[in-house]
Amino acid sequence: MMKQILLIDDDAIINYLHSHILRSKFPTIPIIVFENGLKALEYLNNNGTFSYLIFLDINMPIMSGWEFLEAVSTENTDLDLQIHLVTSSIDPADKLKAKQYPLVFSYLVKPLRVKDLTHLPHL
């Protein structure tokens, strides 16, 4: 199955930085950027034929990362998703909450670094 990388974050500068870092590690995998979870969810609902590597922020307008996780966990159970939270939150409660979602493979603090990619599971 072909892969796509989805960056879901409302910060354009972070998306630019993370796109550059991800391209250096995965030059052949397309990267698609969304500024909120709702747009990403709509995309997934219409393009479910890929294996998705998702880098998801928690705090965003319109649909937060938590709301996105809830939606894909209940509505899109047949999708091939590997989600990595990339957030500025260092709150232990957020880290604990992330562990409740089987689709979340890791919890990373912004900004994403090249060394973070070498330690990610299942890549």
The phi, psi pair for 99, rounded to 5°, reads -70, -15
pLDDT digits (tens, 9 = 90+) for 30-68: 999 999 999 999 999 998 788 999 999 999 999 999 999
Q: Which residue has the higher pLDDT, 48 or 76?
A: 48
In a domain, 11, yes or no: no
In a domain, 98, yes or no: yes
Range(s) of the domain holding residue 103: 42-108
Q: How many CB atoms lie within 10 A of CB 12?
A: 10
CATH label of the domain that carries residue 101: 3.40.50.2300
pTM as predicted? 0.92
Number of domains in the chain: 1
In a domain, 73, yes or no: yes
The pLDDT score that the predictor gives to residue 15 is 97
In a domain, 24, yes or no: no
In a domain, 22, yes or no: no
The pLDDT score that the predictor gives to residue 75 is 77
Q: How far apart are CA 99 and CA 121, in angstroms?
A: 14
In a domain, 17, yes or no: no
Percent of the chain surpassing pLDDT 90 = 75
Checking if the pLDDT of 123 tops 70, the result is no
Give DSSP secondary structure letters for 26-61: -TTS-EEEESSHHHHHHHHHH-TTSEEEEEE-S--S
pLDDT digits (tens, 9 = 90+) for 85-117: 999 999 999 999 999 999 999 999 999 998 888
